[in-house]
Chains A and B, each alone.
Chain A
Amino acid sequence: MGIEESSIRGSAAISALAAAVICSAAAIAGGLVSDRPVAITPGTLTASAESGQPRSSSGPDMATVPGRLTGANSCAASSCHGGGRVAEDLSFAASQVWQRRDPHARAWQVLTQPLALEMMRRLAAPGTEPIPATEDTRCLNCHVSTESPYAEARVSETVNHRDGVSCESCHGAASGWLAEHTTARWRGYSAKRKAELGFIDTTGDLLKRAQICADCHVGGEGKDVNHDLIAAGHPRLDFDFRVFHANEPRHWTAGGPGDRNRALNVELRQAFEAEAWLAGQVAGGRAAARLLQDRTGEGRPWPELAEYSCFSCHHDLRADSWYRLARGSVGRLQWGTWTFGPKAAAFGGLGGGVSELAQLRQLMQRPLPDRGAVREAAQKLDSAFSGIESTFPPKLDRQGLIALSLRLIDEHAVVVAASSGSVADAAVPLAAGTWDEAAQLYLGLHAATAARRKTGDEVTAEEEALLEGLRQGLVFEENVDSPGSPGFADRVREWSLAVAKFRELLQGRAAQ
């Protein structure tokens, strides 16, 4: 477990690097990743609960109208989630864990930091005064809990905003269910009944969890980290549910003997690591398809450059450009390289979406994609996710995991060959435009390998070393936030050879 955990955190470091494209400080402060393993014990929690600052929250309307926020404070009583009964179950300390460890609790606070002020200054129209980020709904819709995304451009501050992204963002606005939730009856309620009251049950549903995360970490209506925001200084959103989930300070039980939901605990499933990765692919893909529809709206920036690989354009011009050599570049932007990087392989095992994705990609890689046609194609892809979701999770045994890994590798080679127009170039799978795809490939392989380990399949030291080599090959050089630096170019061939070797080992395993 120790090794496994540290290697997941290693892969989190890649996400951090990708997020650090613009500003690494913001990636940490903005709560994308935690850079330290979370070690919370009942003892530390009890101690910290005593010294914790009381949170100020007046809580708005507490009437029984469902769908209204009640505020983080309404969950934090010591007999509820405030830590008083932590010995019984970690979830009784959820408020404390969130408040003390979880970056989501500081999501509002980062809007007051120097980078946020600087971003707002850059975003202000020339000659106008910047508005505070804490009043700009482009920021607030993800950086605080809202009942529904604010439609107006600017709102005044409320006390609840200061809670950042709190309990109800993920578990549902509590006005309708809070009272019931505190009674003994609650545990007997059906999932349907709970949902009617506005409660979002995350217990047994990995896909649901991923969808909740993706709503901000990929985006959605009113929640758009577009190219304007990125250029102003916001870190790019490189969502990987499995990595983010592993880094989220755990405020629920990990499936120990005392876990009353043990039967429902998806984290105990053998293929959990691969399922979590797949859940992120599915939820992230659907969120991206919906976000893209939203982005085609009138008055929105178009073409939306955040849809494309950063490194398609953002690379120094070089004489010995491996970028050019590897891709046979024609000067076009590469679309959807992060969110839709490994989709065909992932979806191949699920219920479809492959042709819808190809259609959308074709439209988006034109110099000026047609808004209407893109919206329509994105809608079709969105609809295709219903089929994909209905077959989630697929049955992934040892052989299934090996097959998934092989599909990922082979698809990556195809993606590269298709971009370069030459199959011969497939031997060089890692190019600037495909850093995203390469990172996705690594994350997928890592997940599948971790799941294989749980199924009892032996993962050799050689495989471990190859995976670690892939991770290191993706890390940017010091002081550079792009893969385009000359030293990185030298690693391209090494990387692709490692992938080829890994593939060979997998094929050997598959035959066993």
Chain B
Amino acid sequence: MIRICTVVLMLIMRAGFLRAQEPSVGVCASVFGGEGSQSRQLVGLQICFKCHAAGPGAGQDELAEQLGIAVDGGWIRGNELRIWGGEDRHSQAYATLQGETAARIGRALGREGAIHRDVRCIACHSAYPISQLSAVDLLIEEAVVKTDLRLTQGVSCEGCHGAAGDGFEGNAESPLRGWLNPHVNPDIWRYLSPEEKCRNGYSDVRSVVSRAKICASCHVGDVSMGRVLTHEMYAAGHPPLPPFELETFEDLMPKHWMEFDEKSPELREKFQQRAAVKRGDAESSQGRSTVISALVVYAAFLRLTADLADPAGGEELQGVPRPVWPEFSQFDCYACHHDLKSRGWRQTAQVSGRPGRPRLTPWPAALARVAAASSGGAAAFGGVEQRLDESVLGTPFGESAAVTAAARDLAAACEAMALSIESTGWSGESQRQVLEGILAAGGGLVKPVADYDSARQYAWAFAVLQAEVAGKKRAEAVEEWFGRESGLSTRSGVPLLLDLKVGEPVQLLIPGATKEREILQIDPRQVLPPIAGYDAVQFQAAFREIRQKLTAEAAPQ
């Protein structure tokens, strides 16, 4: 019976999917602009529960067998929602809007008691597209908060995977059916090409380019979705957004999926036989993911900067008043935010080469520069980057039209490089080059000098690549090279904050829940002191030591 249904369903769906195939670089229109899940309905995670919330002992019934749920050798874990709900802070994203920090931010912004209804916050703290919410003076109604679980369940499944429901009626641009329908039949769904899935609103989470872009839409920002963390919000008390490195963040999240090479040989073989788009050998390299994400994240930052600086940008973004340029959040926080010291490292290090002119937030460029150099794009990248620098530093906060143009050109260059790396191979030699590039940049052998967040990017990326080379886990590499006993900590005295799961546990009643649960609230008392205590010169020295050590190990005995 199941088999018959499957065949019928497959036929129906093929009819819908027989459209022009796009080049299989793993990116579909819904990811780099174009139609997206913003215009589809959320179905809510209750529907996902049926298959993705199995507990221990699950996998014995018929459904589990069909889905391939099994602790050993399964296609999916089956307990994705348990991981998400238990350990993944995305599930707490909305709840934090009802915590003390949020209340304080609300008071400072003149939104006392209402910050959890402010669409500027909901844009990132929930999976709900704010374009679908009706708000008065940027506030949605309390009744919606009380009744619509899709809003209050935080950044739930569809926040990243795409809204699974139908397109709205009357929207001719939108395909009629959402991805929920084909998805419930794994025997079809699993082997569809990413493009086919995308056309029904499912984000391509197999492509690193696409995955990084999805993360960056909140972790960096995206004007088209109303996701902009402004300086005003920071000043009101929003904790600093940490720099974003895909592999590190996925590992810390933690992952609720199994990588292809973690699945059983039988399943992998079956996939390669039947799938519309086969897996490539390089796809599982974490070093490659780090490099691709570095470029995509930088592109996202540049597009955000350009959209905010654009003199033709209009008054509103997604119904939210557009911040007036210069929007300080796009600039290096710690260029200005430091107590003044004579002979501080900033002066002696000549950070920007233009004293007194704030540069753009430096961390998004840090790894991207290394990635560009290792993929042969250094010359093209460097040329546009210089133009961007000149447009930003020529006058304080830059000349907005020139900043906009240069930032968009550099974003396009980064995206092209990211796509090119994803569609071509990845070798041990590439990995070695990137490692060397990170060590040189972190050690200050090439300009510019790393600020605190760039230093964290270098440390995180180094750990990802080095762990892969050494056959270790990422967390082990972090502990070995940057932990309490490492040269970095003993030298600088103030370790970099590399584990983002530090905070203050607070009891909160999450909307829709019947009892309070513990959530982790970011604690500025832990997050901020390392920033003030950071010293670039000491960090460089520590990174040079690492480089020397590795060079000595690699030298023939």
Contacts and interface: CB of A to CB of B under 8 A. Distances in A.
A314 B338 contact: yes
A125 B394 CA distance: 11
Contacts of B340: 21-22, 310, 314, 480-482
B528 A319 contact: yes
B24 interface: no
Contact of A122 (B355, B527, B531): B355
A91 to B, nearest CB: 38
A317 B240 contact: yes
A231 B355 contact: yes
Interface stretch (A39-47, A327-335, A353-361, A373-381): A327-335
A302 interface: yes
A461 interface: no
A313 to B, nearest CB: 4
Interface in A210-233: 226-233
Interface in B322-338: 324-328, 333, 336-338
A481 B341 CA distance: 5
A317 B339 CA distance: 9
B231 A302 contact: no
Contacts of A455: none
The 10 residue pairs across chains A and B that have the minimum distance between CB atoms: A331-B235, A231-B356, A319-B524, A313-B336, A231-B355, A316-B532, A126-B353, A228-B356, A482-B339, A481-B340
A317 B324 contact: no
8 contacts: A22-B342, A22-B347, A314-B338, A319-B524, A324-B235, A329-B108, A330-B108, A331-B231
B264 interface: no
Given A123-B355, A228-B357, A485-B339, A330 B324 contact: no
Contacts of B87: none
A317 B234 CA distance: 11
Contacts of A482: 339-340
B240 A368 contact: no
B336 A314 contact: yes
Contacts of B107: 328
Nearest to B527: A319
Contacts of A317: 240, 333, 337, 524, 528, 531-532
Interface string A294-308: 000000011111000
B396 A481 contact: no
B517 to A, nearest CB: 24
A315 interface: yes
Contacts, number: 121
Given A302-B396, A368-B325, A229 B524 contact: no
A366 interface: yes
Contacts of A304: 396
B342 A324 contact: no
A390 interface: no
A213 B108 CA distance: 42
B232 interface: yes
B339 A314 contact: yes
Nearest to A124: B353
Chain B interface mostly helix, strand, loop or mixed? loop
A210 B73 CA distance: 85
Contacts of B342: 20, 22-25, 481
A328 B112 CA distance: 13
B270 interface: no
Interface string B227-241: 000111011110010
Contacts of B232: 330-331
B6 interface: no
Contacts of B356: 226-232, 301, 305
Interface string A273-315: 0000000000000000000000000000111110000100111
Contact of A313 (B109, B337, B527): B337
A303 B347 contact: no
Interface string A427-451: 0000000000000000000000000
A231 B352 CA distance: 11
B336 A320 contact: no
Interface in A229-263: 229-233
B339 A368 contact: no
A171 interface: no
A304 B357 CA distance: 10
Nearest to B523: A319
B528 A318 contact: yes
Interface in B356-381: 356-357
Contacts of A316: 337-339, 528, 531-532
Contacts of A22: 340, 342, 347
A479 interface: yes
B396 A301 contact: yes
A234 to B, nearest CB: 10
Interface string B220-259: 0000000000111011110010000000000000000000
A301 B355 CA distance: 12
Nearest to A299: B395
A122 B396 contact: no
Contacts of A302: 395-396
A484 interface: yes
B383 to A, nearest CB: 15
Contacts of B515: none
Interface string A5-21: 00000000000000011
A324 B339 contact: no
A331 B236 contact: yes
A310 B237 CA distance: 20
B53 to A, nearest CB: 37
Contacts of A367: 324-328
Contacts of A231: 347, 355-357
Most chain A CB inside 10 Å of its own CB: which residue of B333, B340, B531, B532: B340
Contact of B397 (A122, A123, A324, A368): A368
A314 B397 contact: no
B525 interface: yes
A50 B109 CA distance: 69
A122 to B, nearest CB: 5
B355 A228 contact: yes
Interface string A322-351: 001000111110000000000000000000
Interface string B390-401: 000001110000
A127 to B, nearest CB: 9
B231 A122 contact: no
B507 interface: no
B391 to A, nearest CB: 14
B134 interface: no
Given A314-B339, A367-B326, 8 more contacts: A122-B355, A227-B396, A233-B355, A313-B337, A317-B240, A317-B531, A329-B108, A329-B235
Contact of A303 (B235, B236, B333, B397): B397
